[in-house]
Amino acid sequence: MPDVLSEKALLAMPEADYMNDAQQAFFRALLLRLARDCEQELASARQVLQTPPQSDPLDAAVDEEACRHQLRFLARRQGLLEKIRQSLRRLNSGDYGYCEISGEPIGLRRLLARPTAQYCAEVKTRLEENERHYAHSRTG
């Protein structure tokens, strides 16, 4: 694997180099690392759930709440892992880094902050506004 750019070197590249081979390698390495970390966290959380509590029966409510917390954590991490895998598929197809709706570049800073971003900031803002409007109109 070729040397992967540093974040600083990535941001110093001209806009014309957007999603060139070096940038793709940077984000591939980042996404693979995130996927590996997520898989390890999922395995650890599953192990905790499989280990029956050895506590006093009076602590059953505390154990049950801890179990619910672990299940919520697992669900969130599973969702994140799927988004990471989708991002890797988009990277392999050449679509990574471009908004799924407008086709515009998402931008390096946004991808560094959220490597699984699917939309440019303008489209994401519009989607969130529509979502808020829809939610407000349903409750109002």
CATH architecture of 7-139: Up-down Bundle (1.20)
Integer Cα distance of 37 and 74 in angstroms: 13
CB 119 within 8 A of CB 101: yes
Structure tokens that stand for 127 in this block:
């989607």
Reduced to 3 states (helix: H, G, I; strand: E, B; else coil), residue 36 is helix
Cα separation, 53 vs 51, in Å, equals: 6
pLDDT tens by residue, 88-138? 999 999 999 999 999 999 999 999 999 999 999 999 999 999 988 887 777
Tell me the whole-structure pTM to 2 decimals. 0.82
Q: Domain extents for the chain?
A: 7-139
In tens, the pLDDT along 46-64 reads: 887 787 666 677 777 777 8
